[in-house]
Amino acid sequence: MDQSQTNARLPLIFALIAALMLLGAGLYFFTDKEEVERGDKAAYAAADAEKAISAAGISKTERAATEAIVRAYILENPEIITEAVEILQKREMAKRMGSAGNALTTPFPGAVGGNPKGSITVVEFTDYNCGFCRSSVADLNRLMASEKDVRIVYRELPILSPTSRDAARWALAAAKQGKHKAFHDAMFAAGPANEQTITAAARRAGLDMARAAKDAASEEVNAEIERNLSMMQQIGFSGTPTFIIGDQMLEGALGYDALKAAVDRARKKG
């Protein structure tokens, strides 16, 4: 084999060897409940790469030299491993969010804030016993006031205590009366969820109490809560507040600036 043939194949050699090394590094960093399944896929990918190297007629000497170059580059620039893993995580997260389909951005009737016809949808998973959710209320209200094309879809996710579920039921009952936002803000202003604060928030929101009590106990409301809990597992997060904005998932009390930046990114992507 002459030098020109060897040089022509160098990009292929580099790509195959780098892929193998990054694959191993990625598996080291990127392990979770899907570890076994991912390990199987990695083994198949490594075997495919080995076959490709063999088919390309790459000699042991060429491979050893290329591995040394790639290894040296990775050791000198280790941040590329983290970057590669982050990209992989984002892609997998986008797939999981995509698998939720339109159900993710389709609100329980009435559980909407901002512009109901807004072109940018912000989905918030929230719990009325969550202090970080409480601190995010003002940021979301500011976002709705400043970004007129934003629609907020509230998803009740009662994961912190039994009283969280009680409050979530009443929030959805309020939605059925077209007063979800009023109850939502009043509930967070009232403090941790309990029988007294839930009743106070419901009255402050102007609910028909008898109707709300009936709706809060309905199968329709219970089914919505279970649907949201299933979405949490499907998408792969475990806390509140969690925001889904386009293909972005943001967790925690981020503040107005971070929320607005995420909205701007979603708007640019269309």
Q: Is the same domain home to 181 and 247? A: yes
Q: Mean pLDDT per segment of 10 residues, for the chain of length 270 residues?
A: 49 55 53 51 66 73 80 82 71 70 92 96 98 97 97 98 98 98 98 97 98 98 97 92 94 96 94
195-232 CB burial, b ≥16 within 10 A, e <16: eebbebbbeebebeeeebeebbeeeebeebbeebbebb
Please tell me the predicted confidence (pLDDT) of residue 6.
Answer: 46
Please tell me the predicted confidence (pLDDT) of residue 174.
Answer: 98
Q: Is the same domain home to 73 and 195? A: no
Q: Is the same domain home to 107 and 69? A: no
Domain presence at residue 98: no
Domain presence at residue 84: no
Domain presence at residue 94: no
Domain presence at residue 251: yes
The pTM of this model reads 0.71
Q: Which residues pair with 152 in a beta bridge?
A: 113, 122
Domain presence at residue 95: no
Domain presence at residue 263: yes
- The token duo for 233 is 């597992």
Please tell me the predicted confidence (pLDDT) of residue 17.
Answer: 55
Q: Is the same domain home to 257 and 159? A: yes
Domain presence at residue 30: yes
Please tell me the predicted confidence (pLDDT) of residue 15.
Answer: 57
Please tell me the predicted confidence (pLDDT) of residue 16.
Answer: 53
Please tell me the predicted confidence (pLDDT) of residue 148.
Answer: 96
Q: Is the same domain home to 262 and 130? A: yes
What is the C-alpha to C-alpha distance for residues 202 and 6, in angstroms, rounded to an integer? Answer: 76
| 228: containing domain | 103-269
Domain presence at residue 93: no
What is the C-alpha to C-alpha distance for residues 185 and 54, in angstroms, rounded to an integer? Answer: 64
> Into how many domains does the chain fold?
2
- The token duo for 109 is 């009737």
Which amino acid is it at 194?
Answer: N
Q: Is the same domain home to 68 and 122? A: no
Please tell me the predicted confidence (pLDDT) of residue 33.
Answer: 45
Q: Is the same domain home to 20 and 140? A: no
Q: Is the same domain home to 113 and 14? A: no
CA atoms lying within 13 Å on the CB side of residue 3: 0
Please tell me the predicted confidence (pLDDT) of residue 196.
Answer: 98
Q: Is the same domain home to 110 and 149? A: yes
Please tell me the predicted confidence (pLDDT) of residue 25.
Answer: 53
Q: Is the same domain home to 51 and 116? A: no
Q: Is the same domain home to 197 and 115? A: yes
242-245 and 120-126 strand pairing? antiparallel
Q: Is the same domain home to 172 and 215? A: yes
Residue 231, domain CATH: 3.40.30.10
